[in-house]
Structure formats: C-alpha cells, structure tokens
C-alpha cells in the first residue's frame, strides 16, 4: 500500500490487500444447501405466478423452486435453462428487485419476497459445477446462421439455434466472448471468472464457432454475412458512448464509465487499477452506480454521482441507489455539468442545477463545483455504427415481432435492437426468440422448397 485514499491524483494501491479482496468479493454470497431449503419453503407456488410474468425470459419460477424444495436442484436448473440459457449470470445481475421479486406475492404480503435470484443461482451453480451440458443437438439441418456479437443476446440465440441442429458462427469484436457479461458488469457481481466459465459451458452444446477480434463494419460487412449465411442475427450491443459536450471533456481521466468497468473486470490485480482521490460520475443508470461503487472499492476518498433529473427518474433502481450510498457514494440529483475545470488535468466539475420548463430540462443560474481528479461519463450508450441497409427506430435497429429487422434474413436483439429494457435478461429473451423465429423461417422455407 504505497498510497492512501487521500493521495492526490489518479493512482493505484490506495488500500490494503485485504480491502481489495473484501471489496471485490461476491456481492450476494451463494446460498448454502440449508439456506436454499429455508428460502425455497417460502414459495407459495402461485397460480399463473406474477414472478413468471415479470421475468423477461418467463422462467417457470414456482416450478424450479419446488424442485429445489424436493431435493432436485439439477432439475431446477434445467427448468431455468429451458427458458434462459444464461440463467446463471442472470441470477447474479438481474435487478430482481424490479422484476420477479418485486412481483412476488410475499412482497405484497410481508415486504419480503422469496429470494428468487439467489435460489436461481443456487440451482444453476449446482448444475454448472457438474460440468455436464444438459442439452443435445438435434439432427443437423444443414443451415448456417451468422451471429454478430457474443454477448447475452448472441449467445442465447446461438445456443438455441445449435440445439435445433443449425450450424452457427459468432463474430465478436473483442478478444473474449461474453459481451457485457465479460466486460460490462461490476466485478463483485460476477466473481471467479464466472462469465467465461458460463460461455465455455454453453458452447459445449457444439455446432458453434466463435470468431473473435472481428467487428462488424471493420472486418466483416452485413452484406458479406447475408451472402455467406442462411440467416444473420445482430446482437452487437451499444458500442458507442454519449459525449458530455462540455468544455474540458478532453482532460486525461475524463473517461467513459464503461471502459473503466471493462478494464477493472479484466484487471488481474485490482490494486493496480488507478483511481482518483475525488471521483465524479455523471449519469443515473446502472453503469453510473457500478463505476461509482467500484471507485470507492478501489479507495477513492470521495465519489459523487450527479444526475440531471430527480432520483425517481434514475435508471438505477432504488435498490441500486441504496447499494451506492451504502458504499459511501453521494448522489446529487437535479444538476447537469457545465464544464470540467482544470489546467493540465481535471480539478473539478462545475454543475448547474436544472429546472423543468415547458421546453424541457434547462440549466438554472445556480451553479456549484465538485472537486474531481477523475470524471466518469455514464450518460448512455449508443449504437456504434448502424449497419448498412437497416431501418432504425430512433438510435436503435428497428425490429418487429421476434426480432426481424427491415432486411430479409436479418434479425437483431439485445441492447442494439429497439424495444425492451437494456438488461442481460431481456437480451437473452430476444436472442432466444429470434432463434425460434429463424428456425421456423429456415425450416418453413425448406419445407416449401421440398414440396
């Protein structure tokens, strides 16, 4: 520990070894077998259960919990994977407090929902450690599907297609597969290199070829893919980042929060990741919270999230907001950045309080400054480059039905596609559903051809 939280500038090693180990340990430690039974006993096995309705992938939650109750966590895992092949990651990162657990009738009854997320993790972890992949491929169909993006949408799509006997090739711009599971999620939500292990396990179905370091538009074009494959699925995510559009944005350590989160995830030794003494995070979503909390865990003395609207409008759920404040993060709302102040490096950020006007949100004359030697921008991601020929819906690829784009034979899902929340679980659902639609389309076309 060569530095302390008070050391000025952006430096590594602000804390002791133990502090790093504690800070980046599992955020929600797994349930042990006894805890899982106690938690499972609380499920009422509701009719047409609200938790299932609330789950974007519609996992049969009462069934899998009943399977845990009856001593069959492996069967429970199969119930989960049938709907959500990335059920292990979703158990870790889903905002369950705004999905299944918010809908749980015991939340209504007692304000304490069944711990669905942790039970799901118990079941899926049990299955993953066996190392046995629970699905087998159907007879080969001879069809070939190209997928761009090895994130949750692409992986879910690939697995479902492979299961149905199609041959799949996934292209990904990054060196490792997993997309945001690997690069975008706070380290303490997925410890022990889980994302990579989950992808390896998923790939065991067979029939999926992964091509890394290959980006759409740079190394391969949509036209080429449409020529080479019988169908194409785009799960490219949102590679671009919104700019601050404020003076001082070019100072060193005025960074995109997503890059910081990715670098931190990939860092073998968290102690070597530099962090500012005073960190300001601009934005109000999960990315802002992940960047802010992890800055504190790296030893930043002060961390402030500044969001332009009220708390109720923040993308981060109240649970996530509490998570941030519990870690000593200050949340300032109703203020927007005017400029980053500094000479060679950032020293502070000047903000103006905002006010709602008929023309929209406007900065008021009231300003203030917050000291900052590191500034994270977490004000939303955008589609990096819209592939040629595709109709957009706002800033995203327009899709209808089960992920059909405006181009024949091209589907899209996940964050890059219109509709749905930008959640891992939503991406999985969209990838899976697109695969079903691709399958029906390919098989249907071949049957018509055969007649």
Site residues for other proteins per CB under 8 A: 37-38, 41-42, 44-50, 105-106, 108-109
Please calculate the CA angle 154-402-156 and round it to the nearest 5 degrees: 25
Please state the closest distance from residue 35 (CB atom) to other proteins, in A. Answer: 12
By beta-carbon proximity to other proteins, the closer residue of 22 and 41 is 41
By beta-carbon proximity to other proteins, the closer residue of 44 and 140 is 44
Measured CA to CA, the distance from residue 149 to residue 216 in angstroms comes to 9
Number of C-beta neighbours around residue 218 at 10 A: 11
Please, which residues have CB within 8 angstroms of residue 32's CB and are 6 or more apart in sequence?
none
Measured CA to CA, the distance from residue 31 to residue 29 in angstroms comes to 7
CA distances (Å), origin 447, targets 141, 222, 285, 436: 12, 26, 47, 16
Q: At what angle do helices 116-130 and 73-83 cross, to 10 degrees?
A: 100
Measured CA to CA, the distance from residue 3 to residue 18 in angstroms comes to 15
Q: Residues 403, 233: contact at Cβ < 8 Å? A: yes
Measured CA to CA, the distance from residue 93 to residue 349 in angstroms comes to 31
By beta-carbon proximity to other proteins, the closer residue of 70 and 212 is 70
Please state the closest distance from residue 55 (CB atom) to other proteins, in A. Answer: 16
Please state the closest distance from residue 179 (CB atom) to other proteins, in A. Answer: 36
Please state the closest distance from residue 33 (CB atom) to other proteins, in A. Answer: 13
Please state the closest distance from residue 108 (CB atom) to other proteins, in A. Answer: 4
Q: At what angle do helices 116-130 and 194-203 cross, to 10 degrees?
A: 60
Nearest in space to 93 (alpha carbons), one of 21, 194, 20, 234: 194
The alpha carbons of the chain give a radius of gyration, in whole angstroms, of 23
Please state the closest distance from residue 58 (CB atom) to other proteins, in A. Answer: 16
Nearest in space to 304 (alpha carbons), one of 276, 345, 262: 276
By beta-carbon proximity to other proteins, the closer residue of 104 and 412 is 104
CA distances (Å), origin 39, targets 43, 64, 95, 113: 8, 13, 19, 10
Please state the closest distance from residue 47 (CB atom) to other proteins, in A. Answer: 3
Nearest in space to 244 (alpha carbons), one of 385, 393, 350: 350
Tokens found for residue 230: 């019988």
Length of the chain: 451
Tokens found for residue 401: 């039905």
Please calculate the CA angle 264-269-275 and round it to the nearest 5 degrees: 50
Please state the closest distance from residue 112 (CB atom) to other proteins, in A. Answer: 12
By beta-carbon proximity to other proteins, the closer residue of 44 and 131 is 44
Nearest in space to 156 (alpha carbons), one of 337, 350, 445, 426: 426
Please state the closest distance from residue 253 (CB atom) to other proteins, in A. Answer: 50
By beta-carbon proximity to other proteins, the closer residue of 61 and 375 is 61
Please, which residues have CB within 8 angstroms of residue 82's CB and are 6 or more apart in sequence?
none
Please state the closest distance from residue 156 (CB atom) to other proteins, in A. Answer: 29
By beta-carbon proximity to other proteins, the closer residue of 71 and 444 is 71
By beta-carbon proximity to other proteins, the closer residue of 105 and 371 is 105
Please state the closest distance from residue 44 (CB atom) to other proteins, in A. Answer: 5
By beta-carbon proximity to other proteins, the closer residue of 104 and 375 is 104
Q: What are phi and psi of 38, to 5 degrees?
A: -65, -45
By beta-carbon proximity to other proteins, the closer residue of 45 and 419 is 45
By beta-carbon proximity to other proteins, the closer residue of 51 and 148 is 51
């Amino acid at each position: 520990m060569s530095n302390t939280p008070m050391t000025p500038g952006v430096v590594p090693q602000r804390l002791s070894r133990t502090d790093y180990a504690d800070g980046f340990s599992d955020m929600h430690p797994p349930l042990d077998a006894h805890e899982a039974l106690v938690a499972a006993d609380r499920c009422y096995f509701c009719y047409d259960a609200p938790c299932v309705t609330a789950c974007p992938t519609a996992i049969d939650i009462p069934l899998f919990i009943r399977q845990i109750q009856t001593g069959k966590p492996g069967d429970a895992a199969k119930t989960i994977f049938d709907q959500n092949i990335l059920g292990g990651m979703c158990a870790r990162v889903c905002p369950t407090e705004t999905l299944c657990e918010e809908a749980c009738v015991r939340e209504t009854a007692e304000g304490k929902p069944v711990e669905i997320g942790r039970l799901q993790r118990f079941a899926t972890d049990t299955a993953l450690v066996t190392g046995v992949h629970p699905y087998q491929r159907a007879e080969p169909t001879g069809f070939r599907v190209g997928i761009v993006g090895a994130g949750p949408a692409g992986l879910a799509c690939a697995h479902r297609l492979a299961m149905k006997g199609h041959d799949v090739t996934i292209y990904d711009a990054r060196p490792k597969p997993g997309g945001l599971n690997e690069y975008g999620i706070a380290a303490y939500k997925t410890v022990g290199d889980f994302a990579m292990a989950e992808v390896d396990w998923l790939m065991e179905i067979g029939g999926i070829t992964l091509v890394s370091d290959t980006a759409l538009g740079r190394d391969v074009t949509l036209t080429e893919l449409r020529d080479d494959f019988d169908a194409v699925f785009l799960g490219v995510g949102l590679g671009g980042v919104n700019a601050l559009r404020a003076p001082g944005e070019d100072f060193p350590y005025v960074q995109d929060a997503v890059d910081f989160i990715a670098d931190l995830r990939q860092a073998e030794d968290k102690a070597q990741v530099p962090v500012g003494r005073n960190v300001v995070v601009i934005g109000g979503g999960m990315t802002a919270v992940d960047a802010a909390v992890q800055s504190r865990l790296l030893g930043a003395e002060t961390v402030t999230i500044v969001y332009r609207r009220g708390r109720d409008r923040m993308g981060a759920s109240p649970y996530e907001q509490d998570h941030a404040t519990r870690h000593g993060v200050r949340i300032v709302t109703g203020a927007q950045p005017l400029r980053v102040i500094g000479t060679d490096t950032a020293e502070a950020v000047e903000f103006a309080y905002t006010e709602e006007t008929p023309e929209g949100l406007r900065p008021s004359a009231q300003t203030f400054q917050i000291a900052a030697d590191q500034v994270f921008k977490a004000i939303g991601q955008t589609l990096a480059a819209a592939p040629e020929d595709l109709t957009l819906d706002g800033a995203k690829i327009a899709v209808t039905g089960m992920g059909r784009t405006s181009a024949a034979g091209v589907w899209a899902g996940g964050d890059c596609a219109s509709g749905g929340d930008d959640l891992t679980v939503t991406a999985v659902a969209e990838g899976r559903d697109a695969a079903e639609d691709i399958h029906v389309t390919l098989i249907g076309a071949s049957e018509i051809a055969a007649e």
